[in-house]
Amino acid sequence: MNATWWRRNRFWLALLVPLLFLAVVASSFRLVNIYLPWDWTRPIVAHDTSGTLRQDFLGFDDVRREREVRVQVLSAVPQQVHGDAKAAAGAVLWRILLEFEAAPDQLLDSCTIELQDAEGTRYGHEGGMESVDGSGTPWEARLAQRCVPESAPGPTLEPFTGKLVPSPVERSRTWRLEYLIATPEAVEPTALRVGWHYPEYLVLEVP
């Protein structure tokens, strides 16, 4: 290739570098999404108000474990006020009662619970409610990240050290917990999503 060829093609050669960069970024994005899933991408749809989530996960201690937990939506009741929480303007609170069943040695301390409408819009514990006395975010708003009894949570892992901490009291095989999640007044939830570790999550019908 002589100097004339380089001059004639210098514009296309200049475009080649950013195009190669974009190709590398696109392939990296695909790698992250397919092989390193860091989002809820694998639904386990129960087609019922009750279902079982089974997954294998890597804990903070780099130990791979198996998880098996059954969850049932016992009720979901709309209301404007519950405890020290009230719905914000234009919103409604859904008081949800869940039943869990799992072996006492299962790691289940941190979870994500969301409501979902017919269009796939998700509603979590953030926003839509306020304290009755106006003092700020009510305690109930934070409970959608807790899936175990406070007094008997079962074993947990320290997030920074990976140390396995035994439960102060052995957790019962079945237990029930209540949650509050706010949605716009016009929304009718059709499903409840619950998950512990990406990417699997359980999808249950709302009765």
Tens of pLDDT along 96-145? 999 999 999 999 988 999 999 999 999 998 788 888 887 766 655 555 57
Beta strands in 20-173 (DSSP E): 42-45, 50-58, 64-79, 81-82, 85-87, 91-101, 112-116, 122-123, 129-131, 156-157, 164-165
What is the residue-averaged pLDDT of the chain?
Answer: 84
133 vs 75, more confident: 75
Q: Is 119 in a helix, a strand, or coil? A: coil
Query: Is residue 21 very low, low, confident or very high in pLDDT (cuts 50, 70, 90)?
Result: very low
Alpha-carbon gap, residue 164 to 28, rounded angstroms:
34
Taking the model in full, what pTM does it have? 0.80
Which of 31-35, 57-61, 191-195 has the highest average model confidence (pLDDT)?
A: 191-195
**pLDDT on residue 60:** 85
How far, in Å, are 26, 69, 101, 157 from residue 176 at the CA level? 45, 13, 9, 22
Here the tokens at position 35 are 């092989």
The kind and range of the H/E element at 18 are helix 10-35
Alpha-carbon gap, residue 119 to 128, rounded angstroms:
19
9 vs 175, more confident: 175
**pLDDT on residue 36:** 47
Here the tokens at position 127 are 């926003």
